Amino acid sequence: MRIGVLAVQGDVREHLNALERLGVAAMPVLKPGDLAGLKGIVLPGGESTAMWRLMQATGLAEALKRELSGGLPAFGTCAGMILLAKRITNWKETFLGLLDIAVERNATGRQVDSFEERLSVDGLGEVPAVFIRAPLVVEVGPGVEVLARWAGRPVLVRQGRILAASFHPELTQDTRVHEYFLSVCRKE
């Protein structure tokens, strides 16, 4: 099974390392052709507008949206969640717009306000979560399952073959959230 990691900007290496620790062939995705043969893709944390502009410049934005609309599983973390969201409450544009949630960008504050929490995740137990300028989900659509909350707000959600986290599981040694994503990728 080959899993891609969107590699235009952000914490790409950390996701590649987490997937490799799980014995998965992980590869960076920089251009549309890199999507061929993937069983899933991770959209990492970073800066969502910079990522989007780079994806548009290479044609990756349109190709990725087409693949995701066709059923390619995706796991977005932090900025990746923003890229996937149907609505961003405090930003003028929407990016991929495939996950039926509304998010608020940078809802947990500035970089200096970063923190780590332990979250109770449905089916996984207690999981460490690193929040860095994290988006928070302010609305979920009817087909979205909330898997974890922080301060009463959804921070890990799933809609079909799309998983999204406000936090950075790749910055911990705990790989259970990545394992959960791989289980989504294995289901045909």
Is a pLDDT exceeding 70 seen at residue 16? yes
What is the pLDDT of the chain when averaged over all its residues?
94
Please give the Cα distance from 146 to 140 (Å, whole number).
Answer: 8
The residues assigned a catalytic role are: 78, 168, 170
CA-CA distance, 156 to 154, in Å (whole number)?
Answer: 6
pTM, two decimals, is 0.95
Topology given in CATH for the domain delimited by 2-186: Rossmann fold (3.40.50)
The single-letter DSSP state of residue 163 is E
**Per-residue model confidence (pLDDT) at position 106:** 72
* Separation CA 188–CA 186 (nearest Å): 6
Question: What residue has token string 């950075």?
Answer: 168
Contact in structure between 176 and 23 (CB atoms under 8 Å): no
Domain map (residue ranges) of the chain: 2-186
- Indicate the pLDDT class of residue 43, thresholds 50, 70 and 90: very high
**pLDDT value of residue 188:** 61
Q: Please give the pLDDT value at position 92.
A: 85
- Percentage of the chain exceeding pLDDT 90: 88
* pLDDT for residue 111 is more than 90: no
The answer to whether 70 and 35 are in contact (CB under 8 A) is no
> What is the token pair recorded at 86?
């149907």
pLDDT at 29 over 80: yes
Tell me how many helices (H) and strands (E) the chain has: 5, 12
The C-alpha angle 83, 139, 149, rounded to 5 degrees, equals: 90
The answer to whether residue 187 scores a pLDDT higher than 90 is no
Residue among 188, 187, 186 at smallest CA distance from 2: 186
The predicted structure's pLDDT at residue 109:
67
